[in-house]
């Protein structure tokens, strides 16, 4: 057995501490063979190393077979890993009550749900027993790990609140759940993003370039504006972006829907109902005559029963598609969008749930202010069925095609 000086012992022990797993065991085995005649007992007594670890390293060196370390299997498992299916159930409950960043500048989300209400929903809606569920604090920690921020922010409070807000939310959640559980129903979320000014504007973005990009001093007089309109297939995560060069009108919105359905209808031959989550924007409100006419015509063209399910006024950030816009803004805010082609290409490279969007440039010129008279609107009003309790927020359109 070779002699080891005190200085060499300190250096060897220090070097061993810097290694982990297989590399540490191999190093311990080499030192044990060199200085301690291959005795794990002597290595433990002289160096303070664990005998089992040294023995494993010696066997690995002799057999030339490496043991795989399952570090993830050690320690206490997370609650979502010990209760089968609870993570998916929590997501299905929480998603309906989650809003995007009110400023639309990031992918941060905020949720209305608390630990107590989440526990009650798991018991009442998902069939769990109270004994098998963790505490309310643990449920809150699980929400945090899943990316649902429970902190309230000032801008998430609506400017105004109508008396039907809670009833409208209950209707949205109930209808969405029924659609998601119905194999013949498809749910989508639609809405526009703030117009994108095409010019050398900074847009308050940041980049990692060696030199800062140079932009105009003032964001005034853009060369043109693009109107991004999004259609999100909520369950599949497929996201479609339509960049309009004209105005956001009822005709533009329904044209986007028609282009989307033309691209995707072959994937949904079994779908008979289309549930659309949307807000009360002026061009897609249920009181907008041109929108209702075009949606009725869209229903007849496709043979789909269409249900328009609106979020309450001043609560549009709960619409799922809004979160996609937050991701897009984070994605391109460090770039100077000085051309339509650059804006188009940047939109193509964002991802939502790991999927790149389908982006279409819409160059049709749209006319604003198209309205129908009461006489012109009467046949379309006869075609639609409004909710008895929420006539503005829940509208059903039956197709003539059967």
Do residues 280 and 212 share a domain? yes
Q: Is residue 200 part of a domain?
A: yes
Six-digit token string for 3 = 């002699």
pLDDT for res 111: 72
Q: Is residue 391 part of a domain?
A: yes
Rounded Cα gap, residues 310 and 316, in angstroms:
9
**For the whole prediction, is pTM greater than 0.75?**
no
Do residues 26 and 53 share a domain? yes
pLDDT for res 216: 47
pLDDT for res 212: 46
CATH code of the domain in which 244 resides: 3.30.420.10
Do residues 267 and 346 share a domain? yes
Domain count, the chain: 3
- CA distance from start to end of the chain: 91
Q: Is residue 369 part of a domain?
A: yes
Do residues 253 and 337 share a domain? yes
Do residues 246 and 330 share a domain? yes
pLDDT for res 108: 60
pLDDT for res 201: 54
Note down the domain range covering 13: 6-71
Do residues 350 and 333 share a domain? yes
For each successive 10 residues of the chain (402 residues), what is the average pLDDT? 80 86 89 89 88 90 82 71 85 76 60 80 86 86 77 50 88 94 96 86 52 49 85 95 95 97 94 95 94 96 96 89 89 81 92 93 94 94 94 94 68
Q: Give the domain-ending residue among 71, 101, 116.
A: 71
């Amino acid at each position: 057995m070779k002699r080891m000086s005190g200085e060499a012992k300190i250096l060897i022990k220090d070097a061993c501490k810097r290694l982990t797993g297989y590399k540490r065991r191999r190093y311990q085995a080499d030192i044990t063979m060199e200085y301690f005649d291959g005795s794990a007992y002597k290595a433990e007594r002289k160096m303070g190393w664990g005998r089992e670890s040294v023995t494993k390293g010696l066997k690995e060196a002799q057999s030339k077979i490496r043991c795989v370390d399952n570090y993830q299997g050690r320690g206490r498992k997370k609650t979502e890993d010990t209760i089968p299916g609870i993570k998916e159930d929590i997501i299905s409950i929480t998603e309906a009550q989650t809003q995007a960043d009110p400023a639309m500048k990031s992918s941060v989300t905020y949720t209305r749900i608390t630990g107590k209400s989440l526990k009650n929903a798991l018991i009442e809606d998902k069939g769990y027993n109270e004994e098998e569920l963790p505490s309310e604090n643990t449920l809150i920690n699980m929400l945090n790990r899943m990316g649902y921020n429970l902190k309230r922010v000032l801008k998430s409070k609506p400017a105004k609140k109508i008396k039907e807000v809670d009833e409208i939310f209950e209707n949205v959640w109930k209808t969405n759940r029924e659609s998601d559980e119905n194999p013949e129903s498809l749910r989508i979320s639609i809405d526009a993003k703030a117009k994108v000014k095409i010019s050398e504007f900074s847009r308050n973005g940041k980049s990692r370039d060696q030199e800062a990009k140079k932009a105009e001093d003032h964001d005034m007089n853009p060369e043109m504006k693009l109107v991004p309109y999004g259609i999100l297939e909520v369950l599949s995560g497929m996201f479609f972006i339509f960049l309009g060069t004209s105005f956001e009108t009822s005709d533009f919105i329904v044209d986007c829907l028609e282009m989307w359905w033309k691209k995707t209808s072959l994937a949904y031959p079994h779908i008979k109902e289309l549930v659309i989550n949307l807000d009360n924007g002026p061009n897609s409100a249920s009181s907008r005559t041109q929108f209702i006419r075009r949606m009725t015509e869209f229903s007849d063209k496709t043979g789909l029963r269409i249900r328009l399910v609106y979020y309450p006024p001043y609560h549009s950030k709960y619409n799922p598609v809004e979160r996609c816009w937050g991701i897009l803004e984070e994605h391109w805010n460090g770039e100077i969008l000085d051309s339509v082609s650059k804006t188009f290409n940047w939109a193509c490279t964002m991802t939502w749930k790991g999927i790149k969007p389908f982006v279409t440039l819409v160059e049709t010129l749209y006319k604003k202010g198209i309205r129908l008279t009461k006489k012109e609107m009467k046949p379309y009003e006869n075609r639609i069925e409004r909710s008895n309790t929420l006539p503005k927020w829940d509208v059903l359109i039956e197709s003539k095609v059967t």
